[in-house]
Amino acid sequence: MDRLVMALVMLVFAGLLGFVAAMLLLQFKKLNDLLKREKEMTANTMGHVVELVTVRRRNSTFRWRTQYPVITYRVNGEEYRFHVDFAEHWRGKYQVGDEYQVDYVPTEPQVCLVKDFYKKMKSSRTGSGIVGAILALMTINMLWGILNVLIFGTAALL
């Protein structure tokens, strides 16, 4: 019975770890796909910050709020929105009405990059990929440990 309880606890933890790893790897893929298309973004226009999204963060000691901008831009009379969620910063850094150059694919105006956030986007992509891969490996290690507990009755990798 103790083996089953231990395996269940490890399975729940591995599931949570795997979920976080999957979310980070999906973020990596999204940013990577966008960055790969940079050379296709030959057209540009000016975009404006129309909204600031507040994100609440906390750890065991502190609580704080950060913000990221939502930028809108117009192409051929149609308005597009770009959530710059990878560029969170302390409140006050971004202001509604701030102007940024938006580079976009002429045939797909919704595919865009804001040059001022390019460096932050690359570092966010790299961080998501590295941490996601590490957590995925930890998840695999946990699952292997669960098999050891269930089959052999030992916690070989704990």
Average pLDDT per block of 10 residues along the chain, 158 residues long: 79 94 94 91 94 87 89 94 88 91 94 89 92 96 85 60
Take residue 90 and report the two structure tokens written for it: 């302390």
Please list, in sequence order, all residues whose beta carbon lies within 8 angstroms of the beta carbon of residue 98, skipping any fewer than 6 positions away: 48, 49, 69
> Is position 158 within any domain?
no
> Is position 16 within any domain?
yes
- How far is 86 from 113, CA to CA, in rounded Å? 12
Give the pLDDT confidence score for residue 155 in this predicted structure: 55
Write phi, then psi, for 63 (nearest 5 degrees).
Answer: -130, 140
Take residue 88 and report the two structure tokens written for it: 């969170």
> Is position 106 within any domain?
yes
pTM for the full model? 0.75
Give the pLDDT confidence score for residue 157 in this predicted structure: 46
* Residue length of the chain: 158
Tell me how crowded residue 71 is: count the other CB atoms within 10 A of its CB.
25
> Is position 56 within any domain?
yes
> Is position 10 within any domain?
yes
* Structural domain total, the chain: 1
- The enclosing H or E element of 137 equals helix 118-152
> Is position 157 within any domain?
no
**Structural contact between residues 149 and 13, judged by C-beta atoms closer than 8 angstroms:** no
Terminal-to-terminal C-alpha distance of the chain: 18
| Residue 78 belongs to domain spanning | 2-152
80 three-class SS:
strand
